[in-house]
């Protein structure tokens, strides 16, 4: 009777029931929010995982593309090497067949015999050069380019190499001239620099038959600068940087012999000396290859 008759008490009970209902609703809401928050967290983690996977997949695909390019380059290199080695071997084989089928006691004459011997020597030298280029390229792929600097006279080396190319230049109709100081001493690898100059002269003769070639050595402190000027077909400006890459040959690839490694190796040799090898050229205007070397080690 007290509870029912007392209005304030009834209101108090209703208020408590309302509070309990609101508290239950809040607990339910917070519980649902916790579940939703957990789902969001899971989704965020899943999103991050997907991003990482996509990035890793892109890296794997890029690595596979690089590997495929490297495999393609090696296959191309193998094909080129086989072709370039077969050419001098075929010439040597034909020369031996000529000698084999000569009648007993017959003579080809001193002049012809000398020409055949010179041709044989040239073919053998070409094969040796190709093998050396392949060996040097393999070494560079593993970070090894042997350089052994010693005190040397760069001017004397230039004269020696140029004179060694005079017969080859004359056969191609190239007037070969040079200008060097009396001496130019420094601390370099004589063998490797001879290799660089030999590559530059070989290219000048190969791509500019019948054109003049001039070799110049200058002392421009703090550098020595060796330049090879040729009057050949020249190189397009967009190709001037590419000629120093592996397997790239200037000019017409279908007719130019070689593996496209000479300039690549030559620039590596220059850089190992702390120097540089650059080219200035334009189509129809010839080329100037300049080797710059520090005068002091």
Average pLDDT over residues 247-258: 55
Task: Give pTM, 2 decimals.
Answer: 0.61
230 within 8 A of 286, measured Cβ to Cβ: yes
Please give the angle made by the CA atoms of 171, 177 and 178, to the nearest 5 degrees.
Answer: 140
CA dist 191 → 127, 194, 198, 228 (Å)? 18, 5, 10, 18
The total number of residues shown for the chain amounts to 297
Mean pLDDT score, 243-271: 72
pLDDT one-digit tens code per residue, 33-87: 454 455 555 566 666 777 878 888 888 888 888 888 777 766 666 666 665 677 6
3-state secondary structure of 277: strand
Identify the DSSP state of 243.
G
Provide the pairing of β-strand 223-230 with 287-294.
Answer: antiparallel
DSSP 83: H
| Strand partners of residue 281 | 287
pLDDT digits (tens, 9 = 90+) for 95-116: 777 777 777 766 667 777 777 7
Q: pLDDT tens for residues 278-295?
A: 999 888 889 999 999 999
């Amino acid at each position: 009777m007290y509870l029912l008759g007392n209005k304030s008490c009834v209101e108090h009970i209703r208020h408590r029931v309302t509070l309990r209902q609101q508290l239950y609703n809040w607990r339910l809401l917070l519980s649902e929010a916790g579940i939703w928050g957990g789902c969001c967290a899971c989704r965020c983690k899943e999103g991050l995982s997907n991003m990482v996977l996509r990035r890793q997949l892109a890296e794997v695909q890029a690595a596979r593309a690089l590997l495929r390019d490297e495999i393609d380059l090696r296959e191309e290199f193998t094909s080129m090497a086989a072709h370039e080695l077969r050419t001098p071997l075929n010439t040597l084989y034909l020369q031996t067949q000529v000698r084999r089928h000569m009648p007993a006691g017959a003579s080809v004459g001193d002049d012809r015999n000398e020409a055949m011997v010179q041709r044989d020597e040239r073919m053998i030298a070409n094969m040796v050069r190709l093998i050396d280029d392949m060996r040097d390229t393999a070494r560079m792929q593993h970070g090894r380019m042997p350089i052994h600097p010693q005190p040397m006279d760069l001017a004397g080396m230039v004269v020696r190499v140029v004179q060694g190319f005079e017969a080859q230049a004359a056969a191609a109709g190239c007037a070969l001239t040079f200008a060097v100081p009396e001496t130019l001493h420094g601390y370099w690898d004589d063998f490797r620099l001879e290799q660089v100059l030999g590559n530059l002269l070989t290219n000048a003769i190969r791509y500019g038959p019948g054109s003049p070639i001039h070799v110049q050595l200058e002392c421009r402190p703090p550098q020595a600068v060796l330049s090879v000027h040729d009057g050949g077909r020249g190189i397009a400006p967009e190709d001037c940087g590419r000629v120093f890459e592996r397997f790239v040959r200037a000019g017409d690839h279908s007719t130019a012999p070689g593996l496209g490694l000479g300039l690549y190796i030559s620039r590596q040799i220059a850089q190992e000396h702390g120097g540089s090898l650059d080219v200035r050229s334009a189509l129809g205007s010839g080329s100037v290859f300049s080797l710059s070397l520090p005068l002091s080690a």
